Structure 1
Amino acid sequence: MSTSEEWTFPADVDREAVQNALVEWYEADHREFPWRRTEDPYEILVSEVMSQQTQLGRVVEAWESFLDRWPTAAALADADRADVVGFWTSHSLGYNNRAKYLHEAAQQVEAEFDGAFPETPDELQELMGVGPYTANAVASFAFNNGDAVVDTNVKRVLYRAFDVPDDDPTFERVAGGLMPAGESRVWNNAIMELGGVACEKTPSCDAAGCPWREWCHAYQTGDFTAPDVPTQPEFEGSRRQMRGRVVSVLKEYDELALDTLGPRVRVDYSPDGEHGREWLRELVSDLADDGLVELDESDEGLVARLQR
């Protein structure tokens, strides 16, 4: 892992390709939450406050019921605070002060902003109980006017994919540099989705069709540790480890025949053994399918090289 002072974005990674791959992956298929189908800042604020330390599956029903009862900021501002707190408690949405702050924020919108939500992260932080993360989320998803989101999931993704140091200013710099200008709505949704369904603490790279596999440092090396994932269980001898070793060895050579590559990947490699030619052929074929390795037949048999 590089230090924050010396870290720079990998020169051989095409940022535009990285951006396009993530957005296309997200737009092709993502989890459907009702607040992703609205650009109403009030509805998005309610979802963000409810989602704090509450599973999203439980939030959906509460969010819909809350909006049925108080469909606008004006309606919530006119509500009795005790009713709002009572709703919060009955739906097990966490600390009651979040309900109080949400009610007061609605009153501020009506009294101080003439019923129109502020649109920038800085202005949104003037609302009661709205911190930097929530303000940026509302600005992004309601007005497409936010900065790059940097939460635990996003840090995990950047740490694994691009070997970014575990340093908050560096995470913010990298996240901001990756986000396409003026695309905070789709980008922040997409990178959080990536952290939520493909790059969880236990990753699902292939099953979720992670769009960053060809660039991902963790996927190539098999080391899926991260700031919130300090250990990688059962790594020694795993397929992930062997994939990483193949890639590391091929970085040192133009190309290698399987029987030359094998002993450099496993010390117990034997062409006709359990971890022999057929085992290695299957491993490099998987890497070829993922676009990481090229394979050719030669007089020495199958030859592997890194994808150019």
Structure 2
Amino acid sequence: MSDASSELPADLDREAVQSALTEWYEADHRDFPWRRTDDPYEILVSEVMSQQTQLGRVVEAWEAFLDEWPTTADLAAADRADVVGFWTDHRLGYNNRAKYLHEAARQVEEDHGGEFPRTPDGLSELMGVGPYTANAVASFAFNNGDAVVDTNVKRVLHRAFAVPDDDAAFEAAASELMPDGESRVWNNAIMELGGVACGKTPTCDESGCPWRRFCHAYETGDFTAPDVPTQPSFEGSRRQFRGRVVRILGEYDELGLSELGPRVRVDYGGDTGAEWLRGLVDDLESDGLVDVAEGDDGVRVSLAK
């Protein structure tokens, strides 16, 4: 896609954006067991269970389900009432999903010789597998998916790159950003960003968001999004000044408090002077975002190495 028709800023360094996100994700992310497998059946079970169910509750149910029916052949041969009963016992909601999963296993065995289709279109032919789930399985099992676009991803794209609140625009921007042949890592990473750092109440600095230096919302303080209609209080907030500290230190090797303070706020001094700033940088140090060193010439602050 050319810059002329792009939904992304014309001067955006796509390679830097891509590297920043994947490196952040690979360095540290939530360790769900289905992220450690490329088995399409195990991933499909996790995706179906995760629909409208908190991921923390899904882990135990997912492991128990696979203990009971470890393969599509096992599930296809099971009594459907037993599968629905499992779903009910584990409070996974919407028992139709259990029925569809059971039928999808039967289709894999009877129509596909026990092998899963490898593309989103092929996977969409399985019972109860919609476009999102089909793409997720294609991405995470076969590294063969399209760019995922869910609520979290829309929120990230809208905030970071001011992508308009329009489904076609989100699809175009997401596709343009995803590196070729990297759907497994990329889709996991951008969903992790939306789930961990860029939730309805963002934790940009606390979560070490890798896109802060590119982000329109971080720059302007406007964190509204399609699913966040009311702008969170930001102007003059502690979070705003934490962000400024991190952003300023990104431009310097290190700064003393007296050098940093006036750069953080124009009214630096008095109640918002050295004691206030020291509390701010101590908080950032506790979060692992900055290093604070005591020297003969006073306190020096730098970004954490």
**Given the two structures, how large is their TM-score scaled by the length of structure 1?**
0.79
Where in structure 2 are the equivalents of 1:25-44 lying within 5 Å?
25-44=24-43
CA distance in 2, matches of 1:193, 1:234: 24
Structure 2 segments unaligned to the other structure (5+ residues): 248-257, 290-305
Deviation (angstroms), 1:181:
0.4
Q: Give 1:83's aligned amino acid.
A: D
Partner of 2:110, secondary structure, is helix
Q: Give 1:46's aligned amino acid.
A: V
Where in structure 2 are the equivalents of 1:1-308 lying within 5 Å?
8-239=7-238, 269=267, 272-274=269-271
Q: Give 2:21's aligned amino acid.
A: L
Conserved? CA contact 1:9–1:162, under 8 Å:
yes
Conserved? CA contact 1:222–1:243, under 8 Å:
no
CA distance in 2, matches of 1:102, 1:244: 45
CA distance in 2, matches of 1:99, 1:281: 55
Go from structure 1 to structure 2 and tell me whether the alpha carbon gap of 1:282 and 1:214 turns closer, same or farther (over 3 Å shift). Answer: farther
CA distance in 2, matches of 1:239, 1:232: 16
Conserved? CA contact 1:38–1:44, under 8 Å:
yes
Deviation (angstroms), 1:238:
2.3
Deviation (angstroms), 1:223:
1.2
Deviation (angstroms), 1:207:
1.3
Partner of 1:159, secondary structure, is helix
CA distance in 1, matches of 2:244, 2:46: 44
Conserved? CA contact 2:7–2:172, under 8 Å:
no
Structure 1 segments unaligned to the other structure (5+ residues): 248-257, 291-308
Conserved? CA contact 2:41–2:71, under 8 Å:
yes
Deviation (angstroms), 1:231:
1.4
Conserved? CA contact 2:224–2:232, under 8 Å:
no
Q: Give 2:133's aligned amino acid.
A: T
Conserved? CA contact 1:39–1:141, under 8 Å:
yes
Conserved? CA contact 1:101–1:129, under 8 Å:
yes
Deviation (angstroms), 1:204:
1.1
Go from structure 1 to structure 2 and tell me whether the alpha carbon gap of 1:237 and 1:71 turns closer, same or farther (over 3 Å shift). Answer: same
Provide the aligned length of Structure 1 versus Structure 2.
270
CA RMSD in angstroms, aligned pairs only: 3.1
**Given the two structures, how large is their TM-score scaled by the length of structure 2?**
0.80
Conserved? CA contact 1:161–1:218, under 8 Å:
yes
Deviation (angstroms), 1:277:
9.6
Q: Give the match for residue 301 of structure 1.
A: none
Conserved? CA contact 1:225–1:232, under 8 Å:
yes
Q: Give 2:35's aligned amino acid.
A: R
Which structure 1 residue ranges, 4+ long, deviate > 4 Å from structure 2?
239-247, 271-283
